[in-house]
A and B are shown apart, each in its own frame.
Chain A
Amino acid sequence: EPEVTQTPSHQVTQMGQEVILRCVPISNHLYFYWYRQILGQKVEFLVSFYNNEISEKSEIFDDQFSVERPDGSNFTLKIRSTKLEDSAMYFCAAGDRDTYEQYFGPGTRLTVT
């Protein structure tokens, strides 16, 4: 199975601080996604990204969130001013448009204190 990597695996930050979560998607995939999973709950869509633009975002993805692909390989999710409720597992995924399969990275566990 293709591999998506994410760093860091675990990030602890204080409320109000900015965090950047990084993802290296599969090189020949063009569709990228961020999802989050609050502990014990289902996986929720945050944002999809194609051709260096956001193609869709959810209600969760407010002005505190941003995504970019600064160097053509890394794909980042930035949270400008973290809140306690942002504590969750954040998954990056790369999509295959032919099969609609999405391959997930191992996730970043974000803990906001």
Chain B
Amino acid sequence: AQTVTQSQPEMSVQEAETVTLSCTYDTSESNYYLFWYKQPPSRQMILVIRQEAYKQQNATENRFSVNFQKAAKSFSLKISDSQLGDTAMYFCAFVMWFGNEKLTFGTGTRLTIIP
């Protein structure tokens, strides 16, 4: 079974600064996808970014980028120029490629952006 670990329950950073959220996972599979989801106070789950395990290039989406280290099974999210609207819970998630397509989530990191 796959597991996803987020070791930082809470983080805070000043507005406009850069913050990195950590995620590690455990799997014996070689083909999979990794995601970061954002959950603001409204509790809506919003997809932030996706990384395919077979790609060495790190994914980027505007101010959001990842550092994917497949050998270390690490998948961190970097938020640059943080904004007040980035305040939310952030969940790392894993899904296998082919077959078992359910998302396995980590426990989340509560990020607060301080004005």
Contact = CB atoms under 8 A, between A and B. Distances in A.
Contact of A99 (B43, B45, B50): B50
A14 to B, nearest CB: 23
Nearest to A58: B102
A89 B97 contact: no
Contact of A102 (B42, B97, B100, B103): B103
A104 B44 contact: yes
B107 to A, nearest CB: 5
Interface string B15-53: 000000000000000000101010000111111001000
Counting contact residues on chain A (CB < 8 A from B), the size range is: 20 to 34
A38 B107 CA distance: 12
Main secondary structure of the interface of A (DSSP, over half): strand
Given A31-B101, A95-B101, A100 B107 contact: no
Contacts of B44: 104, 106-107
Interface stretch (A19-27, A40-48, A63-71, A77-85): A40-48
Interface of A: 1, 31, 33, 35, 37, 41-45, 48, 55-56, 58, 89, 91, 93, 95, 97, 99-104, 106-107, 109
A89 B102 CA distance: 18
B45 A43 contact: yes
Contact of A56 (B42, B100, B107): B100
B110 to A, nearest CB: 10
B35 to A, nearest CB: 7
B32 to A, nearest CB: 9
